[in-house]
Amino acid sequence: MATVPSLRGCHTQAKSLDILIKRIHEAIELCLEANEYESSVYEFVGLQKVEVFL
């Protein structure tokens, strides 16, 4: 699952990291368009949580 806390309602999920990255990119674009942010270049820094069970 991926979420962008600074963009309300911007989240997605996928079974693989490659697909997840593609989907969150699309979700970010849609959220920016829907909220009418001014045209510009936005940069997001990713954070990945890893759980290890022993």
Residue 44, both tokens: 């997001």
Q: What is the pLDDT along the chain (54 residues), one digit of tens a residue?
A: 888 888 888 999 999 989 998 999 999 989 888 877 666 666 666 777 778 888
pTM: 0.68
Q: How far apart are CA 13 and CA 35, in angstroms?
A: 21
Q: How far apart are CA 54 and CA 47, in angstroms?
A: 23
The reported pLDDT for the residue numbered 38 is 66
Q: What is the domain extent for residue 53?
A: 1-54
Q: How far apart are CA 10 and CA 20, in angstroms?
A: 13
The structural domain count of the chain equals 1
